[in-house]
Amino acid sequence: MALVGWYPVEFKPFAYQLNKRGFGIHVLAEAIGASTRTVHKWVVEVRGSLKGMSGWVRKRKQRMGYSYIAPHLRGKIKLWGRLPHEHSFMVAKARECFQRLLRWLYFRDYLGGYLDLEACLRGEEPP
């Protein structure tokens, strides 16, 4: 099994598919214990676009000057308006998805089976 850092290579396309299905990058990062930057790099690499993390800092121009300030640095950033129990529920669901992927990888590597990412995303267990 090849590794990307400390994670299997299959985590990249799987994280991208989960991101497409509505899981935020911060949720996926918290579920596997990675940094948000790492998961963002995985999603961008699989997506193939060149968009970086510069859009994450919401900047606005000052009225009189040309310098930019980031208004969100003054206070705490909330988790996209979600309540804490909703966030923990999504993290638990993402963690469950990654655990299922690890079971599929075990089935492929040690039991001589195959890896079916679509079945893993649908919630099916390995045969």
pLDDT over threshold 50, residue 74? no
Given pLDDT bands bounded at 50, 70 and 90, which one contains residue 89? confident
- Element holding 102 (H helix, E strand): helix 84-110
Q: Where are the domains of the chain?
A: 3-51+83-122
pLDDT tens by residue, 49-72: 655 555 554 444 555 555 544 444
Nearest to 127 by CA among 18, 115, 118, 10: 115
pLDDT over threshold 90, residue 103? yes
Please state the pTM of the whole predicted model.
0.70
